[in-house]
Amino acid sequence: MDIYNIWPIVQTYMTGFRYLWRFPIYFIPRDKAFVHLRRDSFQYRVWAAVVPTNMVLFLLSSIGILLWANFSKTNVPSISTIMNGTMMALFGTFLSLFHTLTGFGAMRWMEECTYTGNQLAKDRNDLIRVKSSTPGTILLPRSKTRLRLEIKFLQQIMLQVSLTPFIIIPVLLFTGYPSLKPTLLGRCFNIFFCAFEGFRMIGCVGVILFMRILAYVSYLNELSNLLKCKKRSKFTDYKDVLRFYDRIRLSFKHEHEMISNFSALVLFTMFTVLLTNNFICLKMHHVFPPHFFAFFPTTNLTAYGVLHLGFYAVLLATNKSAGVLAEIGGKLASSVRIRIRRKWLQRRMKSVNKLQVPVGIGNVVLFHFSKDTRTTFYLLLLDNTINLLLSVYL
């Protein structure tokens, strides 16, 4: 499958979700490119103003609703009421902090994704031009950068952050009041927060990662075909090989930061959703069935594990691209006679072949996930154990 064959799927995705998109990026299927807002543009400033405003509103509304719910029904608050209000206010502050981290982490991840994807597409076209041995350059389609401000504004409003206090907090606090129906509130929370918002994000991430896989496979396949082309014997010179190698090395560099931000986004989101579900479980154990509290956290973490392992599994399992890096290393070793320089080039190639998933934000990497399946298994086991223990009514 070629990388450009995915764009009909992107077109379908864009048509269904463009007005609910929350980050400053959009697809242009006609031009086959990603576009993200420039930092000096007016639309980006609008987005940068909307996100912090929603964060502040989230924090203030959470604390306000919590304090009002705890202190409005009693003339003299008891110690337990004060402690409950304080803990819930801290819980709202905690959620607002993690929503801030995930929001801006996702924005950085999407910006890196647009740069890396478009850069790989350009490098792939250059490889095709070199392999064809024809003069001239391949004209890339221009990316359309103009879009109506109203559509951008609707895309970039963070609906989850804006509406979360008015859905989660009443469910947590008002379940004991006879005037409300806990089952109805629980179903609304279930449908909106878990099913709709969570799986919409997973669907978007799946489309993005699938395109990233196709981009790498397509680029490595073209490079492999170019190395095997007998008519281009001059290309086997190590300088020409390094020139194209540096391009993919740059892509790996941006990929490292992109996956780092994405890992932080997924982990923070899973942690907040897991904590919220467990807290609801303690407050609303009589409303939801027991399997509800294990389904959504497990599904989210399973989806993360599938995306994490599938990204590298598909990349490494591709027939033509699996041994491309090793083949480049062999070409370099045979073309360089100086032993020290040859070993340096071999180490350089070996460092690129190490596929580890960093977890952190930007240049700050907390730890790495290996491509082994044990990591995902331990995470699933830990998630299910914690969820099971907290789901027991105490």
pLDDT greater than 50 at residue 327: yes
Q: Given this model, what pLDDT does residue 178 score?
A: 42
Q: Given this model, what pLDDT does residue 153 score?
A: 41
Q: For the chain, list the strands marked E by DSSP.
A: 25-28, 33-36, 357-361, 364-369
pLDDT greater than 60 at residue 343: yes
pLDDT greater than 50 at residue 120: yes
Angle at which helices 79-132 and 199-228 cross, to 10°: 20
Residue 360 DSSP SS3: strand
pLDDT greater than 50 at residue 375: no
Is the model more confident about 76 or about 60?
60
Question: For all residues of the chain together, what is the average pLDDT?
Answer: 54
pLDDT greater than 50 at residue 105: yes
pLDDT greater than 50 at residue 21: no
Q: Given this model, what pLDDT does residue 9 score?
A: 47
Dihedral over alpha carbons 159, 160, 162, 167 (to 10 degrees): 120
Task: Give the pLDDT band of residue 165 (cuts 50, 70, 90).
Answer: very low
Q: Given this model, what pLDDT does residue 319 score?
A: 42
Q: Given this model, what pLDDT does residue 135 score?
A: 46
pLDDT greater than 60 at residue 226: yes
Task: Give the pLDDT band of residue 391 (cuts 50, 70, 90).
Answer: very low
Q: What is the mean pLDDT of residues 29-41?
A: 59
Percent of the chain at pLDDT > 70 equals 0
Task: Give the pLDDT band of residue 274 (cuts 50, 70, 90).
Answer: low
Q: Which of 16-30, 114-128, 292-306, 337-351 has the lowest mean pLDDT?
A: 16-30
Measured between alpha carbons, how far is 37 from 39 in angstroms, rounded to an integer? 6
Residue 179 DSSP SS3: coil
Measured between alpha carbons, how far is 24 from 108 in angstroms, rounded to an integer? 10
pLDDT greater than 50 at residue 392: no
Is the model more confident about 52 or about 139?
52
Q: Please name the residues in contact with 358: beta carbons below 8 A apart, sequence gap of 6 or more.
A: 256, 259, 260, 263, 365, 367, 368, 369
DSSP 109-153: HHHHHHHHHHHHHHHHHHHHHHHHT-SS-PPPPPPP----HHHHH
Is the model more confident about 210 or about 23?
210
Task: Give the pLDDT band of residue 159 (cuts 50, 70, 90).
Answer: very low
Q: What is the mean pLDDT of residues 239-255?
A: 60
Measured between alpha carbons, how far is 376 from 224 in angstroms, rounded to an integer? 32
Task: Give the pLDDT band of residue 151 (cuts 50, 70, 90).
Answer: very low
